[in-house]
Amino acid sequence: MLRFIETIKIANGLPQNLNFHQKRLEYTISTFYPNIEPINLFNISIPDNIDKNKIYKCRVIYADKIYDIQFNEYQKKEIQTLKLIFDNYIDYSFKFEDRSRLINLYNLREDCDDILIVKNNLVTDTSYCNIAFYNKGKWITPKNPLLKGTKREYLLLINSVIEDNIFFDQIKFYDKISLFNSMIDLEEIVFPTKNIK
């Protein structure tokens, strides 16, 4: 049975961007398990003992039902370098629990902090983040990421990023890169594109 993950940021004791997580979950379930009872992420209870001054990661594992919910204090990774990795066959269009292909690619990073995956000559994502490149006052995010993340959908909605195809040999024309996901905001992790090797 295929299982999937939603990773939800808990800040000030409240889930963030929950509408976007629910929308993605519903699309996933309608694709793989169209005949089941609806799963409603809004029904998840936040533990009373979490510290509202800290950020937590809520990890929901589901398929035909919710199999596990975990709450852990969030520890942000320090990312300042990326290794270009080429894979024309990788598919992570749904947030699968099985990340073995991504982990195998991540293990090729050598002395870099993470990887930047190139598929059919187009830049996609890192091992766990969507990305945006900065040029001429605009943040550009790849039109065809490996995964359409919830934060990416939100940033597109509010016009903080715009979509375009970015070929790997065009990286040098951008000033800097930002990594983001459900736990990390745009411009929270930023470094020069020269740090992409």
**Once rounded to an integer, what is the mean pLDDT over residues 160-176?**
96
- 68 forms bridges with which residues in the sheet? 61
Same domain, 86 and 37: no
Domain membership of residue 18 as a residue range: 4-73
| Predicted confidence (pLDDT) per residue in 85-137, tens digit | 999 999 999 999 999 999 999 999 999 999 999 999 999 999 999 999 999 89
Q: Give the count of domains, the chain.
A: 2
In this predicted structure, what is the pLDDT of residue 38? 84
Report the candidate in 62, 54, 78, 57 with the shortest Cα–Cα distance to residue 27.
Answer: 62
Percent of the chain with pLDDT over 90: 95
The span from the CA of 138 to the CA of 158, in Å, is 13
- Whole-model pTM: value is 0.94
Domain boundary among 73, 104, 128: 73
Same domain, 90 and 146: yes
The span from the CA of 81 to the CA of 74, in Å, is 21
Alpha helices in the chain (DSSP H): 18-32, 100-106, 150-157
The span from the CA of 105 to the CA of 101, in Å, is 6
Which domain CATH number covers 86? 3.20.10.10
Domain boundary among 73, 99, 131: 73
For 33-38, the CB contacts below 8 A with 24+ separation are 33/63, 33/64, 36/64, 36/65, 37/65
Which domain CATH number covers 30? 3.30.470.10
Same domain, 161 and 69: no
Same domain, 20 and 39: yes
Residue 121, Cα to own-chain centre: how many angstroms?
Answer: 20
**Once rounded to an integer, what is the mean pLDDT over residues 164-189?**
97
In this predicted structure, what is the pLDDT of residue 182? 97
Evaluate whether 128 touches 109 at the Cβ level (below 8 Å): no
Same domain, 148 and 185: yes
